Structure 1
Amino acid sequence: MRVAIVAPSPVPFIIGGAENLWWGMLRELNRRAGVVAELIKLPSPERNLIELIGSYRTFARLDLSHFDLVISTKYPAWMVRHPNHMVYLQHKLRGLYDTCPAHLARPPDAAAVARLRLPPGLEAALLAGHGGENLDAAEVAETLLAALTRADAPPELLHFPGTFARAVVHLLDRIGMQPGHIRRYAAISRTVRERASHFPAGCQVEVCHHPTGLEGLAPAALPDDAGIFTASRLVGGKRIDLLIDAYQRSGATLPLRIAGAGPEEQALRARAACHDGIQFLGRLTDAELARAYARAAFVPFVPYQEDYGLITLEAMLCGRPVLTVSDSGGPTELIEDGVNGVIAAPDAQSLGAAIARLAADPAGVAAMGRRARERAAAIHWQAFGDWLLSGAAPAAAAACAPAPCAAHVARPAKPRIVVVNTFPVEPVVSGGKLRLFGLYRHLAQAFEVRFVNLADTAMPRHARPLAPGVVEEVVPVTPRLREQARDLEQKLGVSAGDLAAAMHPDSVPQWLEALREQLRTAELSVCAHPYGFPALQAAGVPRPHLYEAHNVEYDLKAGMYGRHAWAAQLVRHFERQCAEQACGVTACSELDAERLRELYQLDGTPVAVLANGIEIAETPFVAVAERHARGHRLGKERPLALFMGSAHGPNLEAALLVLVAAARSPGLDFAIMGSVCGMIDADARPGNVAMLGVVDAAEKSLWLGLADYGLNPVRAGSGTNLKLAEYTASGLLVLSTAFGARGSGLTAWEDFVPIEADDLAGALCAAHALDAGRHGALVASARAKVAASGDWRKIGERYAAFASGFLRT
């Protein structure tokens, strides 16, 4: 994956918290396999309105289409247009937003604006303070620059800050950050997320506190010359004046050391001149800053509505509690008053009293410092990088919806359904994940969906929105369960994390805790696979449950486990419990439904068939002629056959058949995509086979729009093949075994070319011999059938009707 972190470079240049974040992101992304990241910074002067509009224009013109993912955090970088653009907002131009003076927070003078002779739509959007999102940002900037630099331009419109400047920036931000331009919205803190006009109305906004790039932060014994330490830019918003006044009232004997520089420095020195305990240290290097934290007994940090405040995190990482005030914003999100720090009222008397209490209680301060360290240790680069990339696949893009609110005990407006699984939905890159995302995204029209899923991640337990009405709570696998899974895998010779989770749900207490919390307000629960059922039982909050079977799990694992029949019988035991105690069961095909009834005597249990599907509206259909044109542009000289598969036994068997066919088909090129590539011996690969591995959704879409044939030589397994729906919806000519096409509704020689007797090479010859009309007819027929019956929206509607039948009336 190619990632661009795009950012403004301040003029004149300074290094601040934003730069530290970008450098840290760059380091973290580039240390990951399969990821290459670049930090792209453009000079962005903003000393006057003309410069600011010019900076917006620069980013609006920037073409980063050669990257797979673009991440911006600060104005005006989010003006870049890219189909996979994430905004991780630090702040907007605050002087024109949340700290804007009241007399400027009004529309600009209409008569003065009229003298600019702007296009009517642009003028109306500026005066109204809303709308205009359909305008082109680069053209808006060009038009404004031309109008404002004419000799007759009203000079009052150039005031910066000013009412017109505010209207211009708000309009440009509305255009740049509108849904459709940005795929994923996030903020560095709840404080930022909750600011007015910082995000489009109704959009889901994630919050993730980022780590610090400062090194050398670790707990240390308090030295003899310990004092009170703070660090910040010496500007009004940091309220160092309040801290000086409070310290002078406190009577504390510990010295107050203030690091930093800025325009308020002389005034602050004069304010502190009568107290020899206050020391100004100037700007410190990173190493000096780390040592200064270590010399601190505690760290006061009292800004007004700070975006986040890395000083808080850095002090806590050193085991030093932070003293802040109730209106400081970001710092209050990390500090729990009296537990790992102190939150005082924002006045000199209250703050001074808090300083006095902390200075007089070294034992209490040390205890808070230890808890502060524990809290801060969860915020680290590996977890942050996991989160950054967790929604990197455009297939998982969520439309705008109300931001998640604080939990309420009352029942939600829609009935809540809790889904438990042993792997996360994001990133949405494989069959099971695609099914979970597609199916429950549309079930959310009738239900409030809450996933509670395990993940093998270093990131702490967290919740993230997947789509409107769908939230996934991710619980990290514990070292204990990881070890139990490893022991099981050594015995079986194949991955067994799911079976280990079914055998040892108590090994992940947070999983059970999260289930209890969600089930209390739920009407129904769902086991997506049977392996979460023991955890559902152990949670101890009984709710009717559905078994949403992706496969007949016993049959699937019996084939995988081979001679280890005992393990397959364990799977059968868990699946039997899950199915027999379910109020309803869903299967991916009629064959699977019949097999489940036969295995588990489900004659009295309602069973619905919900085949695998695809998002038809979001899947571009590429006709044969366009495929040829794309291939010519990209230098493709021969027909290309594509096979997609996850690391799964039946997919490995199919991939090996692809290698055999490739060796017999030297005139064709082949590409194998997905985690199945990791199971294939590289030496066994013929020269005309490319191993793509796991790719993101953008690259996957590219290959689906370039290949000529979609291969599905699957001979075993359970469930149905999502790859078949993806091939047909995209316009590939499908070659499939009869087994691979089961449950799809597709017919050989009407919708696909059949693979008979494992002769994939022969089927490819037959496909290549088809004339253009016959080729196009097969593709069109398959696409029409999938659109009619395999669209996730329609499948989700059927699922909602089925699940609703089990609600209490």
Structure 2
Amino acid sequence: MPMRILICTAQVPFARGGAELLVEGLRDALRERGHTVDVVALPYAWHPHDRLMPSALAWRLLDLEYVNGAPVDQIICTKFPSYAARHTRKVVWLVHQHRQAYDWYGTPFSDFVNTPDDRAVRDQLLRMDRAMLGEAQRLFAISRNVAARLKRFTGLEAQPLYPPSRYAGRLRAGPYGDYLLSDARLDAAKRLDLLLRALARARNAVRCVFIGAGNDRDRLERLASDLNLGSRVEFRGFVPDNELIDLYASARAVYYAPFDEDYGFTSVQALAAARPVVTTTDSGGVLEFVEHGVTGLVAPPEPDAIAAHIDTLFDEADRAARLGAAGPARVAHITWDRVVQALLLR
């Protein structure tokens, strides 16, 4: 029976990434299956930190049981703080919590510091998450990595449920070309500086195409210049879908080694396109798909070690092809049919 469903998500103004693609994909998948679906997106501010709780409260104040007098059969909440929304039939598909207060706390990626004010906000977030996530009729996470974090910090159990790529069914295998592909947002947590340093230390003059945008682009371009990488590095920004699919199809390999990634659409897309992935031992959710010597190569997060793996794949095209060929089967089970069946309350 068709249902009326709201998908709840928090939107950082002027930013677009994997969470936005997940929400759009879920919306379209539900509509294709005959449901009436819309997205509720509220902006949120994380700085100063005392704005975090009001952002959550804004969700709490919404009445999502009815819209203009008509009932809403179910809501599906995604990333922080959208899961503060109230509904008798609330399902959470957790993208991530506020990582700066959780797993990034105490690392260079967090803007929380060890002050009484920040500790108080962090304690509030922990209490809120335990209560609001605990209300869900069903609780899923987009990866085993996200589920493990949730268990660690709140004691709540979530079932991993992998989201398909927006390019599922369109990615294809082509020749193993002469360039490395990086498809990642240009920010510090994606550790593209690590890739640039690895390229500078590789024996082969490997060419790398970077796609994606972000506030770290200027710094990365300066670093590439300082490392004398010259024309070996190309920053293309966002590219049209057809160009992106072509770039995956003809790359020798794909580099994707963020720090403790939630999930990693890039690795799933690379494997679907039969491209081996070069990643690192601390890349988080990426390692749920990339197995060393099977679907890619996994190195310590050090430029020399990554450079050695890059050289291997560019020295041995047949090895790149063998690793790439194992990719599609590794991600074949990630489908919208599976996701929709899990998320809907019948």
Determine if contact 1:219/1:317 at 8 Å carries over to the other structure.
yes
Give the match for residue 222 of structure 1: 175
Which of 211, 233, 241 matches 1:278? 233
What displacement does 1:300 show? Answer: 1.0
Q: What are the superposed Cα offsets for residues 637-676 of structure 1, whole Å, 9 maximum, x if unpaired?
A: xxxxxxxxxxxxxxxxxxxxxxxxxxxxxxxxxxxxxxxx
- How far did residue 288 of structure 1 move? 2.5
Flag structure 1 segments of 5+ consecutive residues without an equivalent.
Answer: 110-156, 393-695, 697-809
Higher RCO (CA 8 Å, separation ≥ 6 residues): 2
- The answer to whether structure 1 residue 4 and structure 2 residue 6 are counterparts is yes
Equivalent residue, structure 1, for 2:14: 13
Separation (CA, whole Å) in 1 of partners of 2:229 and 2:41: 44
Q: Distance in 2 between matches of 1:28 and 1:22?
A: 10
Q: For residues 205 and 234 of structure 2, what CA distance do their matches in structure 1 show?
A: 13
**Matched residue type, 2:221:** R
Structure 1 pair 86–199 and aligned structure 2 pair: CA distance change class (3 A): farther
Deviation at 1:194, TM superposition (A): 1.2
From 340, 343, 346, the equivalent of 1:385 is 340
1:5 deviates by 0.9
Q: Distance in 2 between matches of 1:30 and 1:368?
A: 36
The one-letter code matched in structure 1 to 2:245 is A
Instruction: Quote the Cα distance in structure 2 between the aligned partners of 1:88 and 1:187.
Output: 5
Match of 1:79 among 58, 77, 84: 84
Aligned to 1:319: 274
Look up the match of 2:310.
Answer: 355
Q: Does the Cα contact within 8 Å between 2:171 and 2:269 map onto a contact in 1? A: no
Q: Which amino acid aligns with 2:53?
A: I
* Correspondences of 1:663-702 after superposition (within 5 Å): 696=346
Q: Match of 1:45, SS?
A: coil
> How many Å apart are 1:378 and its aligned residue?
2.2
Give the deviation of 1:104 after TM superposition: 5.3
Aligned counterparts of 1:314 and 1:366: Cα–Cα separation in 2: 16
In structure 2, the partner of 1:39 is: 39
User: Which residue does 1:209 correspond to in 2?
Assistant: 162
Cα drift, residue 264 of structure 1: 2.1
Q: Is the Cα–Cα contact under 8 Å of residues 96 and 146 in structure 2 kept in the other structure?
A: yes
Larger Rg: 1
> Does the CA contact (< 8 Å) of 1:177 and 1:199 recur in 2?
no
Distance in 1 separating the partners of 2:306 and 2:145: 22
CA distance in 2, matches of 1:28, 1:198: 31
Q: Name the SS for the 1:194 alignment partner.
A: helix
Contact 2:211 2:237 survives alignment (8 Å): yes
Alignment of structure 1 residues 622-771 onto 2, 5 Å? 696=346
Kindly provide the CA deviation profile for residues 220-253 of structure 1, in whole angstroms up to 9, marking residues without a partner as x.
33276x3111121121111111111112212123
Residue of structure 1 equivalent to 2:215:
263
* Preserved contact between residue 254 and residue 276 of structure 2 (Cα < 8 Å): yes
CA-CA distance at 1:199 after TM superposition: 6.0
1:300 aligns with 2:255: yes
> CA separation in 2, counterparts of 1:343 and 1:219?
23
Structure 2 counterpart of 1:151: none
C-alpha contact 2:106 2:113 (8 A) present in aligned 1: yes
Corresponding position: 1:95 with 2:96: no
Show CA shifts across 1:364-420 (max 9, x none). 21122121012222212222222323xx2xxxxxxxxxxxxxxxxxxxxxxxxxxxx
Q: Distance in 1 between matches of 2:14 and 2:112?
A: 28
What does residue 185 of structure 1 align with?
Answer: 139
- Asked if the contact 2:176/2:252 (under 8 Å) is kept, the reply is no
AA paired with 1:246? A
For residues 151 and 112 of structure 2, the distance between their equivalents in structure 1, rounded to whole angstroms, comes to 15
Partner of 1:425: none
Distance 1:82 1:196 in 2: 21
**Cα pair 2:176 2:317 within 8 Å, conserved:** no
Q: Show the counterpart of 1:251.
A: 203
Check whether the contact 1:60–1:81 (CA below 8 A) recurs between aligned residues: yes
Which residue in the other structure is 1:238 paired with? 190
For the residues of structure 2 that align with 1:221 and 1:182, how far apart are their CA atoms? 43
Is 1:169 the counterpart of 2:125? The answer is: yes
Checking the alignment, whether the CA contact within 8 Å between 1:98 and 1:196 is kept in structure 2 is: no
Q: Are the equivalent residues in 1 in contact too, given 2:176–2:320 (CA < 8 A)?
A: no
> How far, CA to CA, are the matches of 1:342 and 1:223 in structure 2?
16
Cα distance per residue 1:273-326 (max 9 Å; x no partner): 202322222232333322221231100111110000100011111111111111
RMSD: 2.2
Alignment of 1:25-36 (within 5 A): 25-33=26-34, 35-36=35-36
1:53 positional shift = 2.5
> What residue identity is the alignment partner of 2:275?
R
Q: What is the distance in 2 between the residues matched to 1:290 and 1:216?
A: 11
* TM-score normalised by length of structure 2: 0.89
Percent identity at matched positions? Answer: 31
The 8 Å contact of residues 180 and 255 in structure 2, kept in 1 or not, is answered as: yes
> 1:185, 1:205 within 8 Å by CA — same for their partners in 2?
yes
Q: Paired residue for 1:310, among 259, 265, 269? A: 265
Residue 252 of structure 2: SS of its match in structure 1?
Answer: strand
Q: Please point out which of 366, 369, 390 is paired with 2:324.
A: 369
Contact 1:215–1:290 (CA under 8 A) maintained in structure 2 = no
The match for 2:68 is: none
Q: Distance in 2 between matches of 1:251 and 1:217?
A: 34
User: Quick check: 2:74–2:90 contact (8 Å CA) kept in 1?
Assistant: yes
In the TM superposition, structure 1's runs of 4+ consecutive aligned residues that sit over 3 Å from their partners are: 102-106, 196-200
**Aligned residue-pair number:** 333
Once residues 240 and 200 of structure 1 are traced to their aligned partners in structure 2, the CA distance between those partners, rounded to angstroms, is 31
Q: Is the 8 A contact 1:216 1:290 kept in 2?
A: no
Amino acid at match of 1:275: L
TM-score (norm 1): 0.39
For residues 110-166 of structure 1, the C-alpha deviation after alignment (integer angstroms, 9 at most, x for no partner) is xxxxxxxxxxxxxxxxxxxxxxxxxxxxxxxxxxxxxxxxxxxxxxx4xxxx22332
The one-letter code sitting in structure 1 at the alignment partner of 2:175 is: L
Between the aligned partners of 1:193 and 1:58, the Cα distance in structure 2 is 25
- Amino acid in structure 1 at the alignment position of 2:36: V
Instruction: Kindly provide the amino acid, as one letter, of the partner of residue 172 in structure 1.
Output: M
CA contact (8 A) 1:71 1:87 kept: yes
- Compared CA separation, residues 325 and 2, structure 1 to 2 (3 A): same
In the TM superposition, what is the alpha-carbon distance from 1:76 to its structure 2 partner? 0.9
Measured in 2, the distance between the counterparts of 1:329 and 1:302 equals 9
Aligned to 1:58: 58
Instruction: Output the CA distance in 1 between the equivalents of 2:43 and 2:214.
Output: 22
Answer yes or no: is the 8 Å Cα contact 1:339–1:371 preserved in 2.
yes
Q: Take 1:208 and 1:197, find their aligned partners in 2: how far apart are those partners?
A: 15
Which amino acid in structure 2 is aligned with residue 331 of structure 1? Answer: V
Following superposition, the deviation at residue 68 of structure 1 comes to: 2.1
3-state SS in 1 of match to 2:173: coil
Q: Separation in 2 of the partners of 1:173 and 1:312?
A: 29
Shift in Å at residue 196 of structure 1?
5.7
Superposed CA offset, 1:160-183 (max 9, x none): xx22332232232233123xx222
Structure-2 separation of matches of 1:222 and 1:81: 50
